[in-house]
Structure 1
Amino acid sequence: MGRPRIRISVTGRLGPRGCHRGHQPGDSFDFDAERGRICPLAMHVAFLYADILRYGGALPGEPAGTARFCCPDADTANVFLIERLEDGDELRAILRQFAASGWPLIAAPAQAWLDGAGDRAALTDAIRQAERECGSCGCALDPLYPRALALLG
């Protein structure tokens, strides 16, 4: 059994300035494979949470397998979600990114699915439409549309 994967996603920004590394809500990174793409300030904080989650720890007040933290740059204060991904969690992680995107086309059906009230056909239709409208724009969601569709089967 391998160690669990860790995904880090930008879910918001509290500060008045944009990120000097260009991170924006909706960006997502594989902790092990893409950590060089993540701002070193944020990674300094993320390492602590990654170790806690990867090795079975939990944080008070956070859903199991997750933690939220802010980047230490007070002018930016990006908000990050870090998640331990077990087998089968990949679709939920992608849907969390869709829900956090703020784009009603995919945010609402993704959140409904995460809340247990979603319809597979409606979610699939919404992802297909999002892929048609945005699937080659270059945003962080582009590669997630086909992956989500494959996972939904």
Structure 2
Amino acid sequence: MQQFRATAIDGREVDLSTYAGKVLLIVNVASRCGFTPQYAGLQQLWQDYRERGLVVLGFPCDQFGHQEPGDEAQIHAFCTLDYGVDFPMFAKVEVNGANAHPLWAWLKREKRGLLGTGAIKWNFTKFLVGRDGRVLDRFAPSETPEALRPRIEAALG
């Protein structure tokens, strides 16, 4: 994780090594997706576990059904006003293809999906990264944030 950088939703460059020693839940998100209500569950996880070392990282992505059409200011306003999101959010990224953000290319290599597929299939795919920077698990979009609690608690120790 230490070798990656990303642009925060407010335009700042963030060295992801800032989160070294934390448990990370990294999610590709979208504002107009059937899974968008998961923002509430992600925010709840962040509130419940941040003191123990969990950081939720949201990466908006518009590669699936044009479900994240807005710019960063619009995305930030939506997440804040509609879901009270205050966990770290980043600028829009691609998670598949030649222009995939390096973080997402690495995540996909580390934990393949169902039947060994590498590609992200849809918005709200989630990766759990341990304190040591290793990818512990990959969760399908249909797996709710609430369902991840046992795995998060185990990772937090």
TM bucket, shorter chain: under 0.3
Choose 1 or 2 for highest CA Rg: 1
Q: Which has the higher helix share?
A: 1
TM-score scaled to structure 1, two decimals? 0.25
TM-score scaled to structure 2, two decimals? 0.25
